[in-house]
Structure 1
Amino acid sequence: MSSPESLLRVLRRQHAHIASLVFRVTDSSGSERGAAVADLLHYVALHESAEQTFMHPVGLTRVGDLAAVQGRVVEEREIEAVITHLEDLDSDSMDFMIYFALLEEALAGHTRAEEDIEAHTISDAVPEDVVQSIAAGLELVDAWMDPATHSISGSVAQLPWTPGQRNGASFAELYRKSLEAFEAVSRIR
């Protein structure tokens, strides 16, 4: 049994950042809210695609309690569906606020379950070096969001990495390109 601490540290930091981005959306309006939504969706796309690349595959192939991991994957698909609908709404409309409340609730439940269930389940099933490798993969999210690290080549360079510079890219597009980038990194690790 390994310690989940390295993985939990990264997850908690990134989940706290997501919570702060959610608060920024709820605490703003007009064009400021639009920018806050873009920042949130950008970060969530990167974070979820990193989990899909580095964390969930380990959980789905190496743990006895598949439901602990499968539940998180299902939650992510539900979050994506809410985001897809949310992107088509005016950020100052009542419909937007209703869907955003659904997204906020889904993200809060999902992040708690990853920290309280999935991270521990994975750590109980794999050696410490695997847990460390997952944590290092997830930390790429923060490295790629840092403006000092924009010298990444290939499909990664095609992705608008800085918050607020989505260039009209949808969440699905950001997620797909992020997933491609993380999978490329995963292959060379």
Structure 2
Amino acid sequence: MSEFSTSNVTAVLLAAGLGTRLGLGPKALLPFRSRTLVEVLAEVLLDGGCREVVVVLGAEAGQVLASTGLGRAEQRLVRVVVNPEWNSGMAGSFLLGVENALPGDHVLVALVDQPGLTADVVRTLLAAHLPGRVTAAGYRAASGKLRRGHPLLLDASLRTLATDSAAGDSGARLFLQANPELVDLVDCGYEGGEDIDTRDQLHLLD
């Protein structure tokens, strides 16, 4: 079982999709806070306590790199990897991201289409994590019921098990479903967990 320290957490930001349902090109390039969504979220993950961010690009990766500061020499805490088979499902991007996390690090997995993610949520997950466990953000519905969302923090000891179960459009989901006893759900309140999938959700960028 790996010793946990907030100084050995690599964030993996999954940003490879084309955003077909949204129809506006890669979600990574959505304008947000006078920058792009992918740039802001990479900064949020660093501000929350992750020591490095691995950004997984795919669709129109060249355009994303040309339109952002990702991959520049001064961005030493942000590394970019490109999944050439991004359209085969999330599993490939998840695998690539985890494989490129620093060896022995715990891995915090985040999604690029979650603009409500805050550094406080990241800090909360890191503070709550227990060795050998998965710590997942839980967001409350209007009913008050807690539902699992992202980010989720995979203990270093579970990295191989999680990647071995990834398939198709499932990243860590199959692993989490098969091992619910390993998952600690942390209450992150009512806001912040919604993804942008359709145009009627673009108000989340306001």
Higher relative strand content: 2
Query: TM (normalized to structure 1)?
Result: 0.30
Q: Which structure would you say has the larger RCO, counting Cα contacts within 8 Å and 6 or more residues apart?
A: 1
Higher relative helix content: 1
